[in-house]
Amino acid sequence: MTNPSEVSATASKAAAANASGATAANSPSLAPVNKKWLAIAGFVAIALLAPFIAQTFGGNYWVRILDFALLYIMLALGLNIVVGFAGLLDLGYIAFYAVGAYLMALLSSPHLTTQFAELAQLFPGGMHLGFWWVLLIAGPVAALFGVLLGAPTLKLRGDYLAIVTLGFGEIIRIFLNNLDRPVNITNGPKGINAIDPVVFFGIDLSRPQELLGVALSPGLMYYYLIMVLVIGVVIISLRLQRSRIGRAWVAIREDETAAKAMGINTRNVKLLAFAMGATFGGISGVVFGAFQAFVSPESFVLWESIYVLAIVVLGGMGHIPGVILGGILLVGFQEFLRELAEPVQKMLFGQVYIDAEVLRQLLFGLALVVVMLYRPSGIWPAPRREDRPVTRTRSHTSRLEGGA
Amino acid sequence: MTTLLLSVQNINKRFGGLQALSEVGLQIAPGQIYGLIGPNGAGKTTFFNVITGLYTPDSGTFILDGKPYQPTAVHEVAKAGIARTFQNIRLFGDMTALENVMVGRHVRTKAGIFAAVFRTASVKREEAEIEDMAHDLLEYVGIGQYAHYTARNLSYGHQRRLEIARALATEPKLLALDEPAAGMNATEKVELRALLDKVRQDGRTILLIEHDVKLVMGLCDRMTVLDYGKVIAQGLPQDVQNDPAVIEAYLGTPAH
């Protein structure tokens, strides 16, 4: 009972942030809370330095990969609310990413004004709403799409829900693909280019900049921008998880009938989960559009939905650190394979037998099967500490006496 | 004369050709344990589902605590003041015992999504109150030391208790228990009886649907016996026990 309660959880966290992990393990005199903060500090330090390390050893290409890893983490955190917390299997999640990306593309590129003369008159300089405004709009718009998907599926569970959401994802993509006729709104499969970059206090993030003698590449600046957004999403997720709403989500996941009997308005609470998840998806999409400066329906295929779902499931459904780890592992794994698959084959057999892309999907599937067999609740599931001493937040109150 | 907590009159419910409930009525006074018994298929569960909003009756009137009560959605029932447990335990298996009870507070708290995200002072206070009360309730039903156990890892008897704690968390006017003793051994039944006794002494009203006649007889203040969807006896346990109609329903007609 005297065992410090936080130690086991901190130990695993410290292992992830290896720099501080060693320090924490070597100083048993530290209070558990301090160890926790040390682990967090180590993690933050690594997260802050990562793009510099990547740039030094791998060049800009690897910084871009880090950017995408963060984007996928943000997407996965959004999906985690729907799938992990509320237990609603959503196979069309990428549609919200598409909504955000296309919103950015339409409102911050010359596309619409070149297509519609009336708009060109209204905005002679072209539609350039800019990243920050679109970011503000994208949240509510994506949430609306989330409710649009959620409303007809409220009574569906499991497989049936999965099929409808899958259909929804495809509908959005097919719309984007075909809305170039009779009036050209989305420019169809050709996509929309020349999307405005993020401009932060007059600093154009798509151009190399210099700060105090340090050269900052676009990838590096976007990394920190997305990092800030990811941290925001993590904080919101954590707070929601430990709230009345978060508990209601998990209650619905565990037993919807019992949740109703406890007075939870399951319809509203489920719609809220869809809306919240969609908001994060939409925001990720806006960043994606600005970062790539180009969007096309090809980026929002079913495979992408499944990829994001795999991050959530592999990492640890409903456990935020697990989802983050899942994102890092899957994106990292994919890139390592892309880099290594062909050279290694050449080295071993003298020629390339399996295309890197094919091998990637093969191993990806294999990894999924192995993890599901041996760690069905993910690589880093939520810790269970039943030996935790029962501590009270306040002293005893007697609100129980005296009936209703 | 005290006002009735729940007054139900002339409930009818028909499923196709089967009249599951006909003209069922009962009156529960505050602070009572009210028993509802009957052989299998008598309509107990149908009646329970009507009261808890799962089924809509074809006709009938309800008055709960002096106000007309017409549940149209299941989640409104808890808000109106009736909390239930399930015959086959339905806990939130992957949540801890504490979290299960905290979910029960949902209906009496109000923090919305924005309040939760910004963690306002009132939300913090509300959260602390929820947690505190959940601890209290776990202690009250006697499983305080298992607060951080995952619900599905608790023993059967403790799961039953947890379900009662979760229902109590909604501050119900009426606690409706659907066969709480089902599957319990003799010791667990004695403990359950003591717990229900305690709940009654603290001024709560209980509607108990039970197979176990012995438990019901010893515990209930009043009871109703259903058979084929009709009330065949109503009143004090000892009167009901000797009612020929009840004996017939349970044991069959004597051979001539």
Q: Mind spelling out the 3-state secondary structure of A180-203? A: CCCCCCCCHHHCEECCCCCEECCE
The answer to whether B245 and B224 have CB atoms below 8 angstroms apart is no
Among B84, B106, B153, the residue with its CB nearest the CB of A248 is B106
Average pLDDT over residues B191-217: 90
Q: Which of residues 188-227 of B touch A (CB under 8 A)?
A: 202-205
pLDDT band at B108 (very low <50, low <70, confident <90, very high): very high
Question: Does the structure show a pLDDT above 60 at B38?
Answer: yes
- What's residue B183's pLDDT? 86
Beta-bridged to residue B232, according to DSSP, are none
Question: Per this entry, what is the length of chain A?
Answer: 404
Which residues of chain A have a CB within 8 Å of the CB of B202? 400-403
pLDDT in tens, chain A (404 residues): 344 444 444 444 444 444 444 444 444 555 667 888 898 899 889 988 888 888 888 888 889 999 999 999 999 999 999 999 999 999 999 999 999 999 999 999 988 888 888 888 888 877 888 899 999 999 999 999 999 999 999 888 888 999 999 999 999 999 999 999 888 899 999 999 999 999 888 888 888 887 777 778 888 999 999 999 999 999 999 999 999 999 999 999 999 999 999 999 999 999 999 999 999 999 999 999 999 999 999 999 999 999 999 999 999 999 999 999 999 999 988 888 888 888 888 888 888 888 877 888 888 888 888 988 999 889 999 888 777 778 775 544 444 444 33
Could you give the CA distance from residue A235 to residue A233 in angstroms, rounded to a whole number? 5
Query: For chain A, how far is it from start to end, CA to CA, in angstroms?
Result: 37
Could you give the CA distance from residue B36 to residue A394 in angstroms, rounded to a whole number? 40
Which residues of chain A have a CB within 8 Å of the CB of B126? 244
> What ipTM was estimated for this complex?
0.92
Which residues of chain A have a CB within 8 Å of the CB of B153? 386
Could you give the CA distance from residue B79 to residue A165 in angstroms, rounded to a whole number? 32
Could you give the CA distance from residue A185 to residue B157 in angstroms, rounded to a whole number? 63
Among A245, A250, A265, the residue with its CB nearest the CB of B116 is A245
**Which residues does A126 contact at the CB level (< 8 Å), separation at least 6?**
A109, A110, A113, A120
Could you give the CA distance from residue A298 to residue A280 in angstroms, rounded to a whole number? 20
Residue B108 to residues A250, B76, B105: CA-CA distances in angstroms? 18, 12, 5
DSSP sequence for A4-68:
-TTHHHHHHHHHHSHHHHHHHHH-TTS-HHHHHHHHHHHHHHHHHHHHHHHHHHH-HHHHHHHHH
Cβ distance of B203 and A266 shorter than 8 Å:
no
Strands A294-295 and A192-193, by their bridges, are antiparallel
Alpha helices in B85-155 (DSSP H): 97-104, 113-118, 121-140
Coil vs helix vs strand at B233: strand
Q: Which of residues 15-54 of A touch B (CB under 8 A)?
A: none
Coil vs helix vs strand at A402: coil
Could you give the CA distance from residue A198 to residue A130 in angstroms, rounded to a whole number? 7
Q: At what angle do helices A32-58 and A7-16 cross, to 10 degrees?
A: 10
Residue of B nearest to A254 (CA): B92
Q: Which of residues 120-139 of B touch A (CB under 8 A)?
A: 123, 126-128, 130-133, 135-137
Which residues of chain B have a CB within 8 Å of the CB of A259? 92, 103
Cβ distance of B135 and A392 shorter than 8 Å:
yes
Could you give the CA distance from residue A240 to residue A236 in angstroms, rounded to a whole number? 6
Residue of B nearest to A267 (CA): B75
Give the mean pLDDT of chain B: 90
pLDDT band at B255 (very low <50, low <70, confident <90, very high): low
Residue A120 to residues A114, A188, A273, B73, B176: CA-CA distances in angstroms? 7, 20, 39, 52, 67
Strands B67-68 and B82-84, by their bridges, are unpaired
